[in-house]
Structure 1
Amino acid sequence: MDTLTPARAAARLLAVRTAVAAPLTVGISAAIFAVASLSPFDPLAAYLGGNYQFATQSQRDAMREAYHTDMPWYQAWWQWIGGVARGELGWSSTQSQPVTTVLVERMPFTLALSGAALLTATLVAILLGCLAGMHRGGLIDRLCTGFSVTFAAVPPFVVSLALVVVVAVGLRWLPASGAAAPGADYTIEGVLRHGILPWIALTVSMIPWLLLTTRAAVVESVDSDAVRAARSRGVHGWALLRGHIAPVSVLPTLALLGTRLPELIAGAAIVETVFGWPGMAAVLVDSAAALDFPLLAALTVAAAAAVLAGSALSDAAAVAIDPRVRMSA
């Protein structure tokens, strides 16, 4: 019989997931190099730009040798793995900078936008989902369900473009793109002001499924024998929601958060592109088109690691919150 406390069970789950994630991440990095090598794009076209068509064959061969684009994918991957082991992520040919510098300059913008949207969407979805589930069939429930069903079918770029047209262009309340005024340095106030619209767009695109999941879990909990027993003891309102409904209803939402992280990453890339947000979206597209292996591998491995970590953390939180939940891997 398993006598582990919830905290120790969650810690063991994280340890197992970490052991599994390490070789899986290495395999993903190899797959990225293999798949990228099948791309029909010639990376020299990105490096040379308009001069590509005027370059002679000998010049192209020299460029391929200089940029190591003539190297087999497995050799390039092994070279990259060796650099990572030494703490060197390589040189980005598309950005003309070390990959580490690109990540340091751009990753904070993506993490701040995605993290703020994820936190806001989770809080709003849990709050509205609990209210809708507690008042099933009422006005709040109908409004929340209608909102969720509508925006679940609307792609993030449509929400983004609508915000640009209405708020930025029509009303002129907020800037339409970037994270600072043209030619100005980044400031906290400027970044926050420029980030409001992309934050709203990404938050709105994430709320629907989280809200519907929370609502369904609350509805199921309200009809359970445990909640009926609590009501018979005189427990109602906030005390009932906090002590008997929310702890159980939040578990499906936590599980969904782990599985929806790829959608968050994809949505963030789309929103960043529409609003010209100086995050990782633009460099990801450039690195894929130009076969910038070091940068492409770093971004893809980081995204895969984030998905694996999110799934593990959501499952560990479920184990820690509800002792009845047991997961071994």
Structure 2
Amino acid sequence: MEHPHLDPPVRRRRPPTRRGRLAGAGAVVRRRLLVAVPVLLATSVGMFALGAASPIDPAKQYAGAAAATATEENLAQIRANWGIDDPLPVQYLRWIGNLFRGDLGWSTSRHEPVASVIAARAGWTLLLVSAALAVVLVTSLLLGALAAYRRGGLLDRGLRAAAYAVQAMPVFWLGLAAIAVFALALGWFPAGGLTDVTATGTSWADVAHHLVLPVAVLAVAQAPWFLLFVRDAVVDSLREDHVLAARARGLPGRTVLFGHALRTALLPFLTLIGTHLPELVGGAVLVETVFSLPGLGAVTVQAALGGDFPLLAATTLLTAAVVLTGNLAADLGYAAADPRVRLDA
């Protein structure tokens, strides 16, 4: 017997799998590469123009202490060997051509290839940034979620006040204060460097002991942004229907907070990580300088003060490439975590 008044069964559309959500990842990567090329070119042109406008004579810088007694003929020979007197477009095209061949140039301040300087120091900068970012993520997620769960309470007010206060403190001031208190006054940690002065080798235990203060300072300087973001995101998430339903079912507060509210707040948190990379890298430059760490930050400051254009241009381009890659990774991670986001849309 037929029942015409009954509607046919509705087929529910299955949510896309993670592989399906990332189906357009290749197209997104290609589009980002098309955007990254002009960005990197504009960055290189700007750095080249600043280097050309610098009053520092690269020939005298390359000669070092011998420049005080060098004749003008010797300096002119150095300029001719390096092509400094060539027109600016010719110098730029030659630099670009060498860059595509893997030749980053010669560091005039350190008297060694730029590629060697970066290869020897990039790992330490990556270690510092990665360790600080891990500390920031763990602490901001935990404290931000707890502050949101107890919003308006003593913990919430105290964390927000501390976050606003730390935001007003420069990174180098935090570093100097940490050295004064924990290194000089208390003697708990070294004031700088990666190993003790009397050390004959490099051990991971010694390096970890020396990195405690730099990592802590960089993490504290960057934590307020993440902590306040997580706190506000979790506060909004606690008002959503699925979280209220979890509470109504009598689930424990810990399960509601970390299993439901925090998971929803994590999605925009991924985007914040990608957009905050420039601030993190800039903070690492100052921290490495304050704590005398042999990373890219310290040599970048030295290159800027000494007019070492080849080294400064290479580190600037590398930083720009890392930031662009981080933003792309954050977008891909957002699409992988949120079933509502499709990259091929």
TM-score by length of 2: 0.87
1:57 counterpart residue number: 72
Q: How many residues align?
A: 328
1:37 aligns to what SS in structure 2?
Answer: helix
How far apart are residue 36 of structure 1 and its match? 2.1
Partners in 2 of 1:323 and 1:14 — Cα distance? 19
1:209 counterpart residue number: 225
Distance 1:299 1:172, change over 3 A: same
2:326 counterpart residue number: 310
| Alpha-carbon contact 1:248-1:322 (below 8 Å) kept | no
| Alpha-carbon contact 2:234-2:265 (below 8 Å) kept | yes
Partners in 1 of 2:311 and 2:87 — Cα distance? 17
How far apart are residue 203 of structure 1 and its match? 0.8
| Alpha-carbon contact 1:9-1:319 (below 8 Å) kept | no
| Residue-by-residue CA offset, 1:137-164 (whole Å, 9 max, x unaligned) | 1222122212211111111111100111
2:138 aligns to what SS in structure 1?
Answer: helix
| Alpha-carbon contact 1:33-1:297 (below 8 Å) kept | yes
| Alpha-carbon contact 2:25-2:344 (below 8 Å) kept | no
2:261 pairs, out of 230, 245, 255, with 245
Partners in 1 of 2:105 and 2:91 — Cα distance? 11
Partners in 1 of 2:109 and 2:201 — Cα distance? 23
1:78 pairs, out of 90, 93, 97, with 93
Q: For 1:141-160, what aligned pairs fall within 5 Å after superposition?
A: 141-160=156-175
Letter in structure 2 aligned against 1:264: L
Q: For 1:2-21, what aligned pairs fall within 5 Å after superposition?
A: 5-10=20-25, 12-21=27-36
Identity of aligned residues (%): 40
Q: For 1:94-109, what aligned pairs fall within 5 Å after superposition?
A: 94-109=109-124
How far apart are residue 326 of structure 1 and its match? 5.0
1:92 counterpart residue number: 107
Partners in 2 of 1:88 and 1:51 — Cα distance? 27
RMSD: 2.4
How far apart are residue 20 of structure 1 and its match? 2.5
| Alpha-carbon contact 1:33-1:74 (below 8 Å) kept | no
Letter in structure 1 aligned against 2:122: M
Distance 1:49 1:277, change over 3 A: same
| Alpha-carbon contact 1:106-1:279 (below 8 Å) kept | yes
Partners in 2 of 1:70 and 1:230 — Cα distance? 72
How far apart are residue 102 of structure 1 and its match? 0.8
Q: For 1:310-329, what aligned pairs fall within 5 Å after superposition?
A: 310-325=326-341
TM-score by length of 1: 0.90
Partners in 2 of 1:289 and 1:316 — Cα distance? 38
How far apart are residue 221 of structure 1 and its match? 0.8
Partners in 2 of 1:123 and 1:12 — Cα distance? 33
| Alpha-carbon contact 1:214-1:253 (below 8 Å) kept | yes
How far apart are residue 15 of structure 1 and its match? 4.2
- Judge which range, 270-279 or 56-65, deviates more: 56-65
2:9 counterpart residue number: none
2:138 counterpart residue number: 123
Distance 1:289 1:43, change over 3 A: farther
Distance 1:328 1:295, change over 3 A: farther
1:190 counterpart residue number: 206
| Alpha-carbon contact 1:247-1:321 (below 8 Å) kept | no
Partners in 2 of 1:135 and 1:109 — Cα distance? 39
Partners in 2 of 1:265 and 1:207 — Cα distance? 14
Letter in structure 1 aligned against 2:182: V
1:225 counterpart residue number: 241
Distance 1:90 1:51, change over 3 A: closer
Gaps of 5+ in 2: 1-14
Distance 1:307 1:53, change over 3 A: same
Partners in 2 of 1:221 and 1:266 — Cα distance? 32
Distance 1:87 1:60, change over 3 A: closer
Partners in 2 of 1:300 and 1:205 — Cα distance? 22
Partners in 1 of 2:189 and 2:86 — Cα distance? 47
Letter in structure 1 aligned against 2:254: W
Partners in 2 of 1:324 and 1:209 — Cα distance? 26
2:294 pairs, out of 278, 287, 304, with 278
Letter in structure 1 aligned against 2:293: W
| Residue-by-residue CA offset, 1:245-276 (whole Å, 9 max, x unaligned) | 12221123222211111111111110111110
Distance 1:322 1:48, change over 3 A: same
Partners in 2 of 1:257 and 1:116 — Cα distance? 14
Partners in 1 of 2:280 and 2:29 — Cα distance? 22
2:181 pairs, out of 166, 181, 198, with 166
| Alpha-carbon contact 2:285-2:301 (below 8 Å) kept | no
How far apart are residue 306 of structure 1 and its match? 0.9
Partners in 2 of 1:325 and 1:241 — Cα distance? 24
| Alpha-carbon contact 1:121-1:207 (below 8 Å) kept | yes
- Judge which range, 54-63 or 146-155, deviates more: 54-63
2:287 pairs with 1:287: no
- Judge which range, 264-273 or 170-179, deviates more: 170-179
1:5 aligns to what SS in structure 2?
Answer: helix
